[in-house]
Structure 1
Amino acid sequence: MPKATLSEPLARAKRAIKSPVTKIRIGARLSQTKFAALMGISVRTLQDWEQGRRSPSGAAKTLLRVAEKHPDVLREAVKNDRTIF
C-alpha cells in the first residue's frame, strides 16, 4: 500500500467539511485562534461563521477570498507578525 502524503489527509478533511470558512481556514493550516486573530475577530465569531450561525460581511468576505486563493500569504502573515499572538 502506498504511503499517504500529508496533503492527502488534508484533502479528505476539506472534502468532508461543508463550511466554506472552515475549508479556507484548514487550507491555510491555521487554528481557529490564529485565524480569528488574523481576521481581527473573536474565536466565537469565527465559530459562528463555521457553524452557519452568522455570515461574514464586507471586508471579512474579501479577506476570506484572498485566504482561499492564497493561503500561503496568511501563513506568512502569521509567521512574520508576532503581535497577533
Structure 2
Amino acid sequence: MTDAELEAFEAGRDLHADLLESIRQMKAGQGTVVHSPLIAARTASGLSQSQFAMLMGVSVRTLQDWEQGRRKPSGAAQTLIRVAVAHPEVLRELVQ
C-alpha cells in the first residue's frame, strides 16, 4: 500500500465502528498476535520508534506498518533489518 493509498484508506475509515468490531472480536477470542523480529530488534537496541525510523530513513508510520505486518520493507531496508536483528548494538552505536 502506498502512502497515498494509506491516506485515502484512513480518510474513509469509521474509527468508532472499527473499535466496536475490534472489541467484538476480542470478546469472541478472535484476532491475531503479531510477532515481529523488527520490534524485538528495535527494543533490544533500546531505540524508540522515531529513532529507529530515522536510522532506517523512513517515517514512523512506515516503521509501524512494517512492525505490524501491514507493509513489507524494500530490499535495502530488509538487509538493514537483518543487521538490526542480528546486531542491535550496532544501532545504538549509530545513534551516538
Shared fold, TM over 0.5: yes
Match of 2:36 in 1: 19
Q: How many residues align?
A: 64
State which structure, 1 or 2, has the greater radius of gyration over its C-alpha atoms: 2
| 1:55 has 2:88 as partner | no
What percentage of aligned pairs have identical amino acids?
64
Q: Name 1:35's counterpart in structure 2.
A: 52
Superposed CA offset, 1:42-81 (max 9, x none): 00000001111101121100001111111111101001xx
Deviation at 1:34, TM superposition (A): 0.1
Asked if the contact 1:30–1:75 (Cα under 8 Å) also holds between the matched residues in 2, the reply is yes
Choose from 53, 56, 64 the match for 2:81: 64
TM-score, structure 1 normalization: 0.69
Q: CA separation of 1:70/1:25 partners in 2, compared to 1, >3 Å: closer, same or farther?
A: same
Structure 1 stretches lacking a partner, 5+ long: 1-15, 80-85
CA distance in 1, matches of 2:74, 2:40: 17
Whether the aligned pair in 2 keeps the contact of 1:17 and 1:23 (CA below 8 Å) is no
Mapping of residues 72-83 of structure 1, within 5 Å: 72-79=89-96
Distance between the aligned counterparts of 2:46 and 2:80, measured in 1?
16
The one-letter amino acid of 2:73's match is P
Runs of 4+ with >2 A deviation = none
Could you tell me which amino acid in structure 1 is paired with residue 52 of structure 2?
F
TM-score relative to the length of structure 2: 0.62
What RMSD over aligned residues (CA atoms) do the two structures have, in Å? Answer: 1.5
- 1:45 partnered with 2:87: no
